[in-house]
Amino acid sequence: MFLKNKYTKWVKDNININNTNLCLSKDMSLNLFVNMFLAIIESWIIQPIPETPDLFAKQLQKISNCSIRSLIS
């Protein structure tokens, strides 16, 4: 909860969340964004042998540019 609160405040102060595309409230869009970001970080660090931070940074850029639909078939 500490990380979620910290990043929620940071995102609120530094990133313009576009909530109009999904017709969601600003708070729900913010919550969704922070939860997804933290889930991606968690998925990385719980790997038996996580990728290096440099490699993960590149992967994170790719992940942030793909839709959820592209993860399923």
Question: For residues 71 and 1, what is the distance between their CA atoms, to the nearest angstrom?
Answer: 27
pLDDT band for position 69 (50/70/90)? Answer: confident
Q: What is the pLDDT of residues 21-68, one digit of tens each?
A: 778 899 999 999 999 999 999 999 999 999 999 999 999 999 988 888
* Cα 32 to Cα 3, 36, 51, 73, distances in angstroms: 14, 6, 25, 23
**Pair of tokens at residue 47:** 């790997």
Domain with 18 in it = 2-71
Give yes or no for residue 71 having a pLDDT over 90: no
Q: Would you say the C-alpha torsion 20, 24, 27, 31 has a positive or negative sign?
A: negative
Q: How many domains does the chain have?
A: 1
Residue 63, Cβ density class (10 Å: 0-12 exposed, 13-18 middle, ≥19 buried):
middle
Task: Tell which wins on pLDDT, 72 or 45.
Answer: 45
